[in-house]
Amino acid sequence: AQSVTQPDIHITVSEGASLELRCNYSYGATPYLFWYVQSPGQGLQLLLKYFSGDTLVQGIKGFEAEFKRSQSSFNLRKPSVHWSDAAEYFCAVGANRDDKIIFGKGTRLHILP
Amino acid sequence: EPEVTQTPSHQVTQMGQEVILRCVPISNHLYFYWYRQILGQKVEFLVSFYNNEISEKSEIFDDQFSVERPDGSNFTLKIRSTKLEDSAMYFCASSELRGDSYEQYFGPGTRLTVT
C-alpha cells in the first residue's frame, strides 16, 4: 500500500532563507508524486507534480522538488522564502492516473520576519 | 481558469441529520473524488467516481455515505445520519486524463460542523 511520510510537523525559517521540506513515500512502482499547499482556511493548491522524466520538477511560486528513487524521496525546495509562503504543505502520492491520492500529514511552515 | 466549486462553504447540522454537500467539477472532467480533513489532521480519501459509479472507496466511506451525479454538472456527497466525528472539511476534486499528465483539481472545501 502507498504511504507518505513527512517527518517534520513544523518548520520555521527566516524570510529570505532557503527551504527544504522532506517527503518520503512508500510504493512498489514509480509513483505519481505531488506537493500541495494549504493556506489557513483555504483549499488545496497544487504546487508541482512528478510523473516521469526529469527528476527535478519546477512548480509555481518558485518551488521545485527532486525525485530520488534510491531514497524514495520527493523533497520540496525554495531558494528564498517569502512571508506569504507561510502555510501547510502536503506531500502526496498516487498509484495510477485515476487513482486516489494519499496525503502525508503535512508540514506547517512558519516564517520569521 | 476553470475551477471546482463547492457549496455551501460552511454547514452546521445537528447529530443525526442528513446533509448533502455539493460540488461542481470542471466541465470536461471525467473522474470525481471526495476527500475529508478532520481539523489538524491529514487529508483522507473517501471515494472516487467514474462513469456514474463508484470506482473506489475507503473504509471511512461506510453505508452512511453516498455519492451521486444527479445531472451533468453536479456531484454530491450525502451523509444520511451525521455523527459528531463527521465534523471535518470536505474537499471535492476532479480530474481528466490528458496523455501523460493528470492532476486532481480541488475545490475550496465545505466545512461541516456537527453539533
DSSP labels for B7-20?
Answer: E-SEEEE-TT--EE
Q: What is the pLDDT of residue A99?
A: 77
**C-alpha–C-alpha distance, residues B27 and A68, integer Å:** 35
**C-alpha–C-alpha distance, residues B37 and A6, integer Å:** 17
DSSP-derived pairing of the beta strands A73-78 and B5-7: unpaired
Place of cell 481539523: B39
Interface with B, mutate which of A39, A100, A103, A108 (most B CBs under 10 A): A100
Provide the 10 A C-beta neighbour count for residue B80: 12
C-alpha cell at A86: 507561510
Q: A49 at the B interface (CB within 8 A)?
A: yes
Q: What is the pLDDT of residue B91?
A: 96
Which residues of chain A does B44 touch, with a Cβ-Cβ cutoff of 8 Å? Answer: 103
Mean pLDDT of B47-55: 92
* Shortest CA gap A44–chain B (Å): 6
Q: What is the pLDDT of residue A2?
A: 80
**C-alpha–C-alpha distance, residues B33 and A41, integer Å:** 20
pLDDT digits (tens, 9 = 90+) for B22-39: 999 998 888 999 999 998
